[in-house]
Amino acid sequence: MSTAADPLDEATDDNPADLAAPSATPPEHEFDPYALPPEEIEEPPTRLLDAIKMIGPGLILAASIVGTGELINTTGLGAKAGFALLWLILLSCVIKVFVQVELGRYAITHGKTSLAAFDTLPGPRLGAGWMCWLFILMTIMTQAQIAAMEGTVGQAAHMAFPGASNAVAHAFGSVNPTWGAFLSTRQEYFWAALTTLAAVVLLLSGGYRRLEHVTTVLVGLVTFFTVASVALLQWTPFRIRMENFGEGFNFAIPTAAVALGFSAFGITGVGASELFAYPYWCIEKGYARKAGKQSNDPDWVRRANGWINVMKLDAWFSMIVFTVATVSFYLLGAAVLHPQDLDPKGPEMIPTLSKMYLQPLEQTPLKALRGVTRVGFLLGAWAVLFKTLYVATAANSRLTADFLNLSGIWRQKMPHNRDHTVRFFCVIYPMTALACYYALREPQFLIKIGGVSQGLLLPLIAGGTLYLGRRDFDRRVGPTFLADIFTWLAFFLITAVASYSVWDLARNNFQYFTPARWLGF
């Protein structure tokens, strides 16, 4: 079986596998989380409380999801389209989970990672299958999103510590005045570089578990903070009315927001990157290992169905978490930024986003809390984006290692060989993204690049998942009829939204390349 990467310290029953890069020294007896040894078989939990203790892969996805898509792209979509695309945000959050569950089911019943499964699809091959090559192309494109995270974290840090930014610029200026002048106009550069370096060091040191508890609390706090901010809008001039919700369910896409809407559909909720990554986290958590190898044994059927139920609980619980956060960010953008024609982009992205939280307090008795609110937003934004940067890099490195092994470009025969490959990309990806931000310095544009690439691949992932489910169907552990219907519905809706968006983008942006234009009409 082709594999991706080991968990980084160890996968426990109560916690997701550590996401940092594993130790460089191969252990005497290497543990391979992608193997299915019979001694690892374990009965699934039968009580809800025990099952809740076993969730984890979905929470890792939620940590990745509540990041650029929500804080930047979703609020930007609300700022540009108002409430009109609320239906698209909810659809994006809910519908793709059905595909996620089927990918998790396949991983548990067959013990294969997503790339190993998609590698068996019929079609052209060049070492690896066509879907694997599309994945690596998408991963390269989504480094633009990572670049946006690094730059936006730099903006947040500069706003929180402007004095330190000026001191850094002055220090460089004392060495070379040109350097000082440059950094004084790009003060987030230093913080973006420092953030990237910190992420690389933590990825290589295995220190994520120490940070995970802190950032999880901060993510929870910023989500709660955002929900509370939406509630507070009802006592401000920016209050949300029932007619706004009616506007949000007209099921139309404003022409000016098509590109951003397509990007948001690709990023918000479970995006293509998260769909690819979810089976890896399910396997590393131990769901497939505890179920054991597929067989005709009725005991295997019982165990597999039990662990599939745990996986479904994991997926839908995480959906509730990231949907609440996503909708809250969108409502703030639509209610506060849209009426003022504010668009969060460029070097002023974080200052613009902070107005969602600060301006509604101006004309309320809570005006005195503006200072605390500002600090809370900046710390929360840093935590959300840094955590997403960290988890996304860990996932991308695993999947890239799996791709290289499948394609034969970089074979990894042993778990420690795989670990070395993962460590290599834990350095390459963040550094490449940082260079990308320095070159473009436009977070929202970078997010659109990554979002569109994910949106284009979503129909193929959904279609490939359905094909694998039909080809390798096992009625004993297959989906219910209703679940199957919803998965097909997800495929058609994802394809419809993607197709319409591509057509509209082509119509509006490539009109100058039509034959009529060439002929002079």
Rg (CA), the chain: 23
Q: How far is CA 79 from CA 132, 323, 328, 354, 515, in A?
A: 36, 18, 13, 13, 36
The CA angle 466-471-475, to the nearest 5 degrees, is 90
User: SS3 of 67, please?
Assistant: coil
Q: 129 φ, ψ to 5°?
A: -70, 165
pTM for this predicted structure = 0.84
What are the structure tokens assigned to 375, written together?
């600090």
Residue-range domains of the chain with CATH: 38-518 (1.20.1740)
C-alpha span between 458 and 122 (Å, rounded): 18
Q: Are 403 and 132 in contact (CB under 8 A)?
A: yes
pLDDT in tens, the chain (521 residues): 444 334 334 444 444 334 444 444 445 567 788 889 999 999 999 999 999 989 888 888 887 787 666 777 788 888 888 898 898 889 889 988 999 999 999 999 999 999 999 999 999 999 999 999 999 999 998 888 888 888 888 888 888 788 888 888 888 888 888 888 888 888 888 889 998 998 898 888 764 444 445 556 666 776 787 788 888 888 888 889 999 999 889 887 777 667 666 666 766 788 888 899 999 999 988 999 999 999 999 999 999 999 999 999 999 998 998 898 889 989 999 999 988 888 777 667 778 888 787 777 776 676 776 777 777 777 777 777 887 888 889 889 999 999 999 999 999 888 888 889 999 999 999 999 999 888 887 776 777 777 777 878 989 999 999 999 999 999 999 999 999 999 999 999 888 877 876 776 666 655 544 544 444 44
Count of other CB atoms within 10 angstroms of residue 336: 26
